[in-house]
Amino acid sequence: MLPVMGGRSQRVGPPAPQVVETEVDGDVCLYDPTSERVAVLNATASDVWRLADGTFTISEISELLASSYGTQPTSIAPDVEAVVSEFIEAGFLAQE
Amino acid sequence: MKIQQRASCGYDLGDIQMTVDERHRILGTDYRVRSDDRALGARVRDLFASFEKTRNAARAANTIQIAAFPDGTHRLLRDCYRVTVQGPAVQLLPALVSTINRTAVEESPELAIHAGVVTIGDYTIAFPSASGNGKTTLTAACLLSGFSYISDEALVLDDSGSVIPYPKPLALSKWSCETLGIAAEGEETLVTAADLGAVVAQGANQVTDVVVAEFGHPGEELVPLPKSETVPVLLGLAFNHFKDPARAFRIATDVASSTRVWNLKYSHPLRAALYLRDRLGPGVASSLAV
């Protein structure tokens, strides 16, 4: 896993323009036609993806999800950072 | 333009009279089977009876010939090149079916996914699986248990996600025959749906259930899986998704959204077939909606 440049204050997203997004029973499925990569996201990763529109930082996403899940932002932030790193590595998020 | 020399084939069939000339359209491709053996011709007609007959000429690459040669062997030739050599012509049938199957799914213009597919009532059940995991045996067990046949090889889906029947002959191993109580004819035994007392499903169906089956458990158990798990399973087992990956992704996600998805653990194919019929068949399916 690559460290996220800019750490938790980096804004996440928006999605790369070529990425196709479909929901299957609440889980987000992503397809990148340039790399032909497919990813099926679990419920938490799907929630992170839905917030990855370029508006929020990793810290802000962690706070929003922690509030929704009834947990502490500090306990969820490492997982959010990890999944954002995977999105970047897979090319699903637009590069600055 | 002068033709200096006629191009030569790998084998010269000379004056062999081909009394059998079977032509069928399979998944949109025309195939032609020629032979000098009338008994074999009758069996070929029987095995491919579920496919549309055509009068079109097949490409040389899709023309398969089984011919007796002076040395007493029969040879299976495709595009004039030898595919395999064996003794009696009937022993070449598994190679004939395998040769046609391999090219038919690869050349299909529709998305083809490695899976067995059966129907019962309004329910269409797919068993996606790689080779060697018991998919054909489980499909055959279902046909012996009251299901109708769509394929033991490929779930073929058109743009709208409707299933296109691909009722190729089932090739059963010795173990499969023994397990199902069918007389084996050699290393591989070819049977049709009719041989197993089943019919071929007609018309377009939508997949209602995707069953990821696991053989080797002490009993039969059906557990619901998240629908999204179907997407990587279907795409990972597709024969020809590379032709149009975006279309394949769309069809796979459409199918995943509209089906129930199960993990089946089972101990015996026939017990599993009966269990599926009782659990997923008409009459009880509505109570199992997930």
pLDDT the model gives residue A96:
61
List of chain B residues whose C-beta atoms are within 8 Å of the C-beta of residue A41:
228
Question: Could you report the per-residue pLDDT of B1-54, keeping only the tens digit for each?
Answer: 454 444 445 455 555 567 788 999 999 999 999 888 888 888 889 999 999 999
Please name the amino acid found at residue B275. Y
Q: What domains, with CATH codes, occur in chain B?
A: 20-107 (no CATH), 111-285 (3.40.50)
CB contact under 8 A, B227 and A38: no
| Cβ neighbourhood burial of A64 (10 Å; 0-12, 13-18, 19+) | middle
Amino acid at B163: V
Mean pLDDT, range B112-132, rounded to an integer: 94
Q: What is the mean pLDDT of residues A42-62?
A: 94
User: What's the pLDDT at B17?
Assistant: 63
pLDDT at res. B202:
85
Pick the residue with more confidence: B64 or B139?
B139
What was the pLDDT predicted at B53?
92
Please give the average per-residue pLDDT across B251-270, as a whole number. 95
Residue B280: the pLDDT is: 86
Q: Please list every residue in chain A whose beta carbon sits closer than 8 Å to the beta carbon of residue B253.
A: 22, 24, 29
Q: Indicate whether B73 pLDDT > 90.
A: no
Closest CA to B16 of B84, B83, B89: B89
Query: Which residues in A lie closer than 8 A to residue B230 (C-beta atoms)?
Result: 24
pLDDT of res. B4: 46
Q: Which pair of tokens denotes residue B263?
A: 């993990």
Rounded average pLDDT over A40-55: 93
Q: Please tell us whether the domain made up of A7-90 is placed in CATH 1.10.3470.
A: no
Cis peptide before A14 (omega within 30 of 0): yes
Q: How far is A79 from chain B (nearest CA, A)?
A: 21
Band (B222; pLDDT cuts 50, 70, 90):
very high
| Residue A25 touches partner B, C-beta closer than 8 Å | yes
More confident residue, B57 or B190: B190
Domain boundaries defined on chain A: 7-90
Banded pLDDT at B289 (limits 50, 70, 90): very low
For A73-95, b/e burial (b = at least 16 CB within 10 A) is beebbeebbebbbbbbebbbbee
Asked if the model's pLDDT at residue B284 lies above 50, the reply is no
B97 or B75: whose pLDDT is higher? B97
Output the pLDDT for position B11. 52
- Is the pLDDT confidence value at B267 over 60? yes
pLDDT value of position A1: 52
For residue B262, what pLDDT is reported? 95
User: What is residue A4's predicted lDDT score, i.e. its pLDDT?
Assistant: 60
- In the predicted model, what is the mean pLDDT of residues A67-72? 92
Mean pLDDT of chain B: 87
pLDDT value at B80 more than 70:
yes
Q: Say what percent of chain B tops pLDDT 90.
A: 59
Q: What is the spatial distance between Cα B175 and Cα B52, in angstroms, rounded to a whole number?
A: 32
A35: closest chain B residue by CA? B245
pLDDT at position B82: 78
Task: List pLDDT tens digits, range B146-167.
Answer: 999 999 999 999 999 999 999 9
Question: What integer pLDDT is reported at residue B40 of this predicted model?
Answer: 85
B121 in the Ramachandran plot: left (φ > 0), alpha (ψ -120 to 50) or beta?
A: left
Query: What is the distance in angstroms between the Cα of A91 and the nearest Cα belonging to chain B?
Result: 16
> Cα distance from B98 to chain A (closest Cα, Å)?
29
pLDDT, tens digit, for every residue of B168-204? 999 999 999 999 999 998 889 999 999 999 999 987 6
Distance between CA atoms of residues B203 and B148, nearest Å: 12
* B228 contact A CB<8A: yes
